[in-house]
Amino acid sequence: MDYKDLVNGYLKVFPTKEIAQQKVKEFMDKLDFNNNGTIDYSEFLIANIDLKKLLNNEKLQREAFDLFDLDKSGTITIDEI
């Protein structure tokens, strides 16, 4: 998908071509990290990460627990510590 396609898609939502172009520019400025004029797969993935879900306390606690629970038994034994 190129710039023209994005503008045409945005025209379905926004009333004027100028507004659609501005929204596409804002979109690209936020997502095109390497400024090559396209959104590559890595940039797409970064844009879709929900940091609240990724870094919530429960998940972090579970990850820390799993580092010690080497046999994945759900408990941490003295030998695992």
Asked whether the beta carbons of 27 and 38 are under 8 A apart, the reply is: no
Q: What is the pLDDT of residues 45-77, one digit of tens each?
A: 888 887 677 677 787 788 889 988 999 998 888
Q: Nearest CA to 64 among 45, 80, 48? A: 80
Residues 8-29 as b/e (b if ≥16 CB within 10 A, e otherwise) read eebeeebeeeeebbebbeeeee
Query: Residue 78 pLDDT > 80, yes or no?
Result: yes
Q: What percent of the chain has pLDDT over 70?
A: 95
Q: Going by C-beta distance under 8 Å and a sequence separation of 6 or more, which residues neighbour residue 44?
A: 31
pTM tops 0.85, yes or no: no
- Do 39 and 32 form a contact (C-beta atoms < 8 A)? yes
